[in-house]
Structure 1
Amino acid sequence: MASFEVIGGRTLHGEIIPQGAKNEALQILCAVLLTSEPVTISNIPNIRDVNKLIELLRDMGVDVEQTAPDTYVFKAEDVNLDYLSSEKFVDQARAIRGSVMILGPMLARYGVAKLPKPGGDKIGRRRLDTHFLAFEKLGAKFTYDANDSFYHLEGKNLKGTYMLLDEASVTGTANIVMAAVLAEGITTIYNAACEPYLQQLCKMLVRMGAKISGIGSNMLIIEGVEKLGGTDHRMLPDMIEIGSFIGLAGMTGSEITIKDAQIRELGLIPDTFRRLGINMEFHGDDIFIPAQDSYAIDTYIDGSILTVSDHTWPGFTPDLLSIALVVATQAKGTVLIHQKMFESRLFFVDKLIDMGAQIILCDPHRATVIGQNKQVPLRGISMTSPDIRAGVALLIAALSAEGRSVIHNIEQIDRGYQNIDGRLNALGAQISRL
């Protein structure tokens, strides 16, 4: 198990380029299974989860060629369906949660799909009912074997239908869209997720020959086609990494420019950090965060305490609530952090309390943070990263703290952040990989 040693209290300065979007990559990569023609994808992040998914596709029989550090050409001409029954496939699919999104493309193109219960962050219940209920509405037969935790799907002749999703699941919507593009007739998906990454998937599928309308809304209408062709696709920068860098700049009092942030795709992320007191300027598509000695949390118009909570898009993404929480610990003022989606995602706050933060964990979903206005700096400690986003929140806390911190289990951070230590060290951080 690898660790980071962090010497905190250093001010950072310079420019940083966000990596390609992890959550988009997991959808886009699975979509290559929908065609036998070449698909070129660029701005792919070099992170553990994405690399594991590329390895899985290669072992399934997809021809994979890396043409540049961030660019791959995929050709799924001869997918080996027998591989889905191998022990290696079971191990690979269980290692990453993104593997669930091979189900829609495999069902659409081959009429069969199977998958062991996938892995991922332990941040609370992450049910998959939305995926399978929709596949059944398209005409697939679904079975679940509780003995080996395997999902099985069969459906040679999927037919379009109307469906109202029980939740606006991003991965669920992506899976359903990929199944529906080759189904016979028209599929209407209401209460669909509409995150930028889902829009990117839909636009890519349209370039491949799919017929999708309503992109960017919560109602998608898909007219099935007989086959899809190849295309080129470039992924968006990672909005979670951009939000992390904004929080890092505020916490450490640093002057940082985030290059090519695709600001129009960030939703409420900049405004939410502004309400936490962090100043920023937009220079084209670059975000400039000036050095601040202090920052103050906003209140509501009547003076009551601000609540920062997660919402479906275009609301504030749940993946950045951990960052918002750690930023608030050194702000002036008080804020309630409300994590609605996952009941275990706030359990990392005990580490921040050990560092000297003033936090009341109200229940599994809510924490009240009393900011210390940088008058009482956090202190370095030894801690363990429980998941990707909490791991980076703890890294930001360690970079702002006085003294030495050690963060264990940084494989969690590596799952979602490309060479984070090297890129932050280039700005003046002092992070050593042990």
Structure 2
Amino acid sequence: MADSLVSVVNLGCRVNRVESDRISAELVSAGFTLVDPDEASLVVINTCAVTGEAEAKTRKAVRHALGRARRPWVIACGCAANLHPDMLETLSDRVVVEPSKVDVVARACSLLGLVNDGDSLDDAVDPHDLARVLGRSRWGVKVQDGCNNRCTYCIVWKARGPERSVPVPAVLDQVRLAERAGVPEVVLTGVNLGAYDGIGAGDAHVEIDELVETILHKTAIPQLRLSSLEPMDVTDRLLDVMAAHPDRIAPFLHLPLQSGCSATLARMGRPYTAEEFHDLCLRARRRIPAIALSCDVIVGFPGETDAEFSESLAFCRKVGFARMHVFRYSPRPGTAAAAMDDQVPPELKEARGRAMRALARELALADARSRVGTVEFGVVEGASQVTLGSYHRLRLRGGADALLATRVPVAIEGVEDSGELWGTVAASEGAEASEVACG
């Protein structure tokens, strides 16, 4: 039926992406057909409010959806919808704000006059059909939501609420669904993943390192990847678990640094110093020699002097990140940082952003070159494209159509100036990919 045509638009972070995938799958299980926004009777927009610019993009996305030829209903969920529902509802009487993402499907059925039979996703959808819907070789599994931190630049703790965790049995159900679908990699995600404190057997509290071990012991998912972890939440216990399972856990950590200057970190309300962050990186590399370290870094935070920026730049060079996500500070109304004195002029933020991004490209290429001549496991995501455990992209010589959506050992043979690696599938899975020393 035409009324069952729906489109899902995602804005924002990795967690939003995983939530949008789940909403898409649940809509399909309820009988909807996913289509392009131009064909949809209803558009679901998972909104973002991390910056003022993100909220502006949310308003633009809603207006754009409303202007489609079929004049669809629009369901807005997510952070911007939770923070400012009136802002979105006043755009049109065809906009409905749904504060609970788990209720999006029920709201969609109600708006379009359809019946939801109430089956759970796991029971209602063939896992292989689900894999085709999501169209990915890796699935994100959301295990945690909310944040108890109060970083001075951030509004997410208000939009997402306090920390809460998915019970261990529910996490295992999601991983097993991916396993049945033949997905080679699962990515554990959360707003504050390292704060995971789920309930396991006998009402025991389970922390993130214990959750990882439980998944490895109770499922056969080929590879597990941790998404973003706050530096203070990466314990020696977690590093030891990663080191003990190099055949199952991707050698990768994304650590939101935000600044390599301790004075700037203090103004940000970040609960660690640059020295403590560096010590964590050293401990991670001692335990997992092949690990790739990734970070977020903000330039132009209020009060950042030339000397502080230089200190942050030098710190990133010292760590030698494999990947860096560079952001120019954008004042977010409602946060402490937006009211701070000494806001950095836009042209200076732009210049610092260019310098930090240039360093990011230099470091990424250096890390890629350090991996030439080694063997690393990777997930085949295209006819000749592989995403390695270290998150580097690699082009397979000769292609590998038969290996699509599988995890294979790859012999890394060379690197382009762009940083893209190239290589071939290793002769056998007995290759000691876990013993590669890089970085």
Normalization by structure 2: what TM-score?
0.28
Normalization by structure 1: what TM-score?
0.28
